[in-house]
Amino acid sequence: MNPEKFLNLLEMYCIPVSLGCVNFNFHIDVLPKRQCNQLKKDSHLKILHVIGQRPEKTGSGIYLQAMANELKKRDFSNYLVAGVPLNNTPDLKNIPADCCQYVYFESDILKFPVTGMSDVMPYESSLFKDLNADRLVAYKTAFSKALRKAVDLYRPDIIHTHHLLVLTALTRKLFPDIPVITTCHGTDLRQYNNCEHLREYVKKYCCQIDRIISLTHDQKTDIIQLYNISPDKISTISSGYDDKIFYRSPKAFSKRVHILYAGKFNRSKGVPWLLKSLIQIKEHDWHLHMAGSGRGPEYDECIALSKMLGNQVTIHGYVTHHQLSTLMKKAHIQILPSFFEGLPLVLFEGLASGCRIITTKLSGFEEIFGSAERDTIELIQLPELEAIDKPFEEDERRLETALTQKIIEMISRVKESPDYQDPQAEKISADYTWEQVFNRILSEYQKLMCSK
């Protein structure tokens, strides 16, 4: 990168920067310190986004697309490397097809489905714990080819990867001289713990990443401990939501209280315990909307339990963002009783849409949502877990009872006042729009350019 382009890039930030720290193969020490001004029209930061799974189907994919959208608004450019099923190429709004390099799973090279960061994905997927021997070699080979081609064609200023796992480690190994920033989404930490055969490789190269974004302070602590990464490299920047789609509208007074669950239909999301809790209060006038999908025995268990609720439940299946927005504007209460999460976007979306929230008190949730009034957000303490998505049998009833109690209390509050008045909840919504999140990430890009 030549000096003139680099100085133009620095001027995109409304933050004072000292240029004396920079070495881009020219003698920058003689240049004066500058106050960054408004972005110049001829400055085009080039970001290569890298994700190992489908970019249109999961929370991390939505996050990636939101960042691409914000970059595009500022006249920067995006390029993508992602893993997708053969013959199922996504149509992404903010990254043109000719700016994408896809690695195709269920193909001659990768004969298995897309590897999922969760063990149960909303589409056909394979497990990282099965990514060994020939599969691992094929995975690295296929992504290496796509990454090298993308870098050769695009010449990115920064590579922004997602998940602290194999693909991010591979990216760092292949391109030691290109600034790399990684967003940790939480599910990658779970896979790191579950996949002992991948740890040595992942840790060796992930600890060399230039900048890392954690979603919460608790997650930052986990990253430091698991990967032996310096705290100075890690910044805590939460997820966000699209405030053009998710926003408040008046909630109507109604005898029937509308409850929403949005997410995968499986045990790690706590869905069976939610349904069992609602079975206990069938006499109350409520209606449950279930938006999401799943597969396998856990999905079947959820569907079987939902049928016990009869016409008090509607299964909407997979919904688009606009369809979810419509459901959230109708819903009075949103429930997410997960046993494990990174930081789910649906909670920001539901809160912004005026839903009262019932969720479990997971790592980082108190940090972000704890300032809201209990009338608005209830955080349920989880019992000790026997496995990552299974409470001890003697605690299952206790969890159902806690959920039942909070649901009854929330129903009562809704009937008194369908719209909540909570300045702290309003502040949370205002602070976590994608625009606000991106402004914080932009400062991380600045740190990368300055350090290099």
What is the per-residue pLDDT across 315-355, written as a single tens digit (0 to 9) for each?
999 999 999 999 999 999 999 998 877 677 899 999 999 99
Residue 351 and residue 375 in contact, taking contact as beta carbons nearer than 8 Å: no
- Euclidean distance between the first and final Cα of the chain, in Å? 11
pLDDT at 9: 52
Residue 440's Cβ-count burial label (10 Å; 0-12, 13-18, 19+) is: middle
What average pLDDT score do residues 358-384 get? 84
Residue 333 and residue 411 in contact, taking contact as beta carbons nearer than 8 Å: yes
**pLDDT higher than threshold 80 for residue 11:** no
Dump pLDDT digits (tens) for 214-233.
Answer: 999 989 999 999 999 999 99
pLDDT at 43: 54
Quote the pTM value. Answer: 0.84
Residue 124 and residue 149 in contact, taking contact as beta carbons nearer than 8 Å: no
pLDDT at 17: 39
pLDDT at 110: 97
Domains annotated on the chain, with CATH: 44-240+433-451 (3.40.50.2000), 257-431 (3.40.50.2000)
Tell me which amino acid residue 239 is: S
pLDDT at 374: 83
Dump pLDDT digits (tens) for 390-403.
Answer: 777 777 888 889 99
What average pLDDT score do residues 27-33 get? 32
Dump pLDDT digits (tens) for 177-217.
Answer: 999 999 999 999 999 999 999 999 999 999 999 999 999 99
Tell me which amino acid residue 106 is: E
